[in-house]
Structure 1
Amino acid sequence: MPVKLVAPSLDLLPAYADALRRGWSADNVRGKAAADEELERISADPQGFVDSLDNPDSGGPPVRRVDGSLGPRLPSIRRWLWDDGFCGSIGLRWGPDGGPLPDWFPYGHIGYAVPPWRRGRGYATEGLKLLLPEARARGLDHVELTTEADNPASQRVVVKNGGRVVARESSGTLHGGAEVIRWRIDL
């Protein structure tokens, strides 16, 4: 499969924005609200938006935690899945100073999303495979991911990349209280 990970850039931004306008969002919890916010940010400052997607030094304003409080931004990078056009987004985050993720951050190291019109072609599986060496290069010895218990497609992505179940639990306010599965991939 020719899918590759590309760093977000101004020349590729129109394809990303088009996916947002078509109803897709990289934020599978907040969906359309997150897509609308990103479209506003793109409209106001396209270069600033692109620059904000790579934040390996954890700079920038605080982020809203699941409980509504504000917390420090985590170091992170985002890559776009590309195969003759935009195929999705995958992000990697890690703890401050390369340490573990803080307890207040329930999402895991990696999150990914593929637009509905590009699903079923292995893009998420290949994207995760391509991102794991980046996690290793950043000093991580494992990554954790979270999937909803009723999302077998996402679970297959993790399993095909060596993931094993760590826990099944209620997500609380995350994912509307749905049951989630926590996964670990050793690097």
Structure 2
Amino acid sequence: MPELIPPTVRLHAAFLECRDDWGPGLHEDGFGLTGDDDVDSPAGFASWVHERVRLDHPAGDPCPEEKHGSPRWIVEDARVLGAIALRHRSDDETGHLGYGVRPSARRRGLASWALGEMLGEARALGLDRVLIVCLAENVASARMIERAGGVLAGIDGTAHAPVRRYWIAL
């Protein structure tokens, strides 16, 4: 049975296995991984988890997840299968939610399940709607968002690739 957990350094090897399942490049949506992040070394991974992922907030903020975001990893049997992040504040480029499931764990409904869980968290935070953005060519993601109640607000070109913008009323 999968579960959503906050990012943790104890799953370093499992995270690397998940990342390697995607292959080269940065397409692990939901993890917040950038090209500058050192996640291979234990020290770099610990820094990334504690400073960039879990505690991405101003210094001294006592409650980072409540104000800035709720990152979660999709874990089953100590294997990292993917991630989903609820941003408590959104911008038009990233939206409120980002997610990704490793290729070997797809087609099991994990992203739909995780999205439903995070929509519940968004409701609990008092959000009345959330914006979800996916690549225009990602038909599977678009269908999943639509099944969750997403209403297409438009397809926009960006510097990288066209994206679909969906709003889900809570």
TM-score, normalised to structure 1's length?
Answer: 0.72
Aligned to 1:89: 83
Aligned to 1:138: 125
% same residue: 31
Aligned to 2:62: none
Map 1:92-107 to 2 at 5 A: 92-95=86-89, 101-102=90-91, 105-107=92-94
Counterpart Cα distance in 2 of 1:113 and 1:21:
14
Deviation of residue 77 (structure 1)? Answer: 2.2
Cα distance change of structure 1 residues 151 and 37 upon mapping to structure 2, 3 Å threshold: same
Deviation of residue 36 (structure 1)? Answer: 7.1
Instruction: Give the SS at the match of 1:92.
Output: strand
Instruction: Give the SS at the match of 1:143.
Output: strand
Counterpart Cα distance in 2 of 1:138 and 1:13:
30
Instruction: Give the SS at the match of 2:39.
Output: helix
- The unaligned stretches of length 5 or more in structure 2 are 60-66
Map 1:5-154 to 2 at 5 A: 5-22=4-21, 23=23, 25=26, 27-28=28-29, 34=34, 37-40=37-40, 42-52=41-51, 53-55=53-55, 58-59=57-58, 75-84=68-77, 85-95=79-89, 101-102=90-91, 105-154=92-141
Deviation of residue 86 (structure 1)? Answer: 1.4
| Number of residues of Structure 1 aligned to a counterpart in Structure 2 | 157
Q: Aligned Cα RMSD in Å? A: 2.6
Aligned to 2:167: 184
Instruction: Give the SS at the match of 2:34.
Output: helix
Contact 1:10 1:50 in 2 (8 A): yes
Cα distance change of structure 1 residues 26 and 92 upon mapping to structure 2, 3 Å threshold: farther
Counterpart Cα distance in 2 of 1:121 and 1:19:
16
Q: Which amino acid aligns with 2:83?
A: S
Aligned to 1:163: 150
Deviation of residue 21 (structure 1)? Answer: 3.5
- The unaligned stretches of length 5 or more in structure 1 are 61-73, 96-100
Counterpart Cα distance in 1 of 2:13 and 2:99:
19
Cα distance change of structure 1 residues 48 and 93 upon mapping to structure 2, 3 Å threshold: same
Cα distance change of structure 1 residues 128 and 38 upon mapping to structure 2, 3 Å threshold: farther
Counterpart Cα distance in 2 of 1:47 and 1:37:
11
Counterpart Cα distance in 2 of 1:93 and 1:185:
14
Instruction: Give the SS at the match of 2:134.
Output: strand
Instruction: Give the SS at the match of 2:46.
Output: helix
Deviation of residue 115 (structure 1)? Answer: 0.9
Instruction: Give the SS at the match of 1:34.
Output: coil
TM-score, normalised to structure 2's length?
Answer: 0.79
Deviation of residue 124 (structure 1)? Answer: 0.7
